[in-house]
Amino acid sequence: MRYRVRREVLDLFPELRIGIVVGRGLRVGKAPGSLCERIWANITMLRKAHGHEVIGSHCNILAWQNAYRAFGTEPKKYKPTAEALVRRVLEQSTFPHVNAAVDAYLAVELLHLLPIGGYDLDMIQGDIELRTSRGGEEFLAIGAAKCERTAEGEVVYADESGILTRRWNYRDCERAKITERSTNIILTSEAAYGMAVIADLEGTIEKVIEYEREFCGGMYSKLFLDARTPETDVLVRTGC
């Protein structure tokens, strides 16, 4: 399997850097109490460090608002994933529990405020691409009853079977979602602009591996993509 960023995306975002985690042999169940405690500890740290002001002032949130505008998506209507999570935990004091694997990477998202998303690797068909949509491509969101259609020019993740994620990291598909039956996963975090601190991306990837290993077990490998290395084989690397 190849993982690639298409040229049209790099033309829009020449500073883009993507971190990828491949996990194998996971045991995914419901989030244990220890993970729930970790989540709320991270929320408490977020409140103490930034409060509600983080939504309008943090460089990583601002960077993603700008990125959405750059490919024609209004971030006030379609909030970037990290911003949406932060707003939920700070304004509503709720966390979107799914399962141990998903909860673990969302807990990390609260630390550096960069987007993290993922798929069940065994549900992916062919290669994964980050590209722009030609428009009108069908997409079934997680939990949705009917398909949507993409807008021309929006940034999407896709495989050979169709769209995996709309509006870059806004909403994932039903087909490749991570469930309690998943054993192999692929997770991604991105910094679209230089104003999003590269150290935050690297820290995010390290923490994702730490949390996933702690709460789901498994073997993990990581790699990074950018304009100089826009694609890679994600399955030849050995885990640790």
Q: List pLDDT tens digits, range 22-46.
A: 999 999 999 999 999 999 999 999 9
The percentage of residues in the chain with a pLDDT greater than 90, rounded to a whole number, is 89
Q: For residues 136 and 150, what is the distance between their CA atoms, to the nearest angstrom?
A: 5
Q: What is the CA radius of gyration of the chain?
A: 17
Q: The CATH number of the domain where 36 resides is what?
A: 3.50.40.10
Residue 238 lies in a domain: no
pLDDT tens per residue, range 104-139: 999 999 999 999 999 999 999 999 999 999 999 999
- Token output for 137: 């491509």
Cα–Cα distance, 44 to 88 (Å, whole number): 14
Distance, CA of 99 to CA of 43 (rounded, Å): 18
pLDDT of residue 55: 82
Q: Distance (Å, rounded) from C-alpha 19 to C-alpha 57?
A: 24
Residue type, 201: L
Residues 6+ positions from 45 with CB-CB distance below 8 Å = 110, 111
- Interhelix angle 198-216/33-49, rounded to 10 degrees, is 160
Print burial letters for 117-137: b (CB count within 10 Å at least 16), e (below 16). bbbbbebbeeebbbbbbeeeb
Instruction: Decide if 209 is inside a domain.
Output: yes
Handedness of CA 107, 38, 184, 23 (dihedral sign): positive
Structure tokens at 72: 């024609």
Report the distance separating Cα 228 and Cα 164, nearest Å: 24
Number of compact structural domains in the chain: 1
Domain hosting 219: range is: 2-227
Start-to-end Cα distance in the chain: 20
Q: For residue 15, list its beta bridge partners.
A: none
Residue 50 has pLDDT above 90, yes or no: no
pTM score of the predicted model: 0.94
pLDDT at 198 over 90: no
* pLDDT at residue 197 in the model: 63
Cα–Cα dist 161/45, whole Å:
40
CA 79 and chain centroid, separation: 13
Place 238 in a pLDDT band, splitting at 50, 70 and 90: very low
pLDDT of residue 110: 96
pLDDT in tens, 154-186: 999 999 999 999 999 999 999 999 999 999 999
Are the beta carbons of 116 and 149 closer than 8 angstroms? no
Residue 163: C-alpha distances to residues 12, 69, 128, 177, 194 (Å): 20, 20, 10, 12, 27
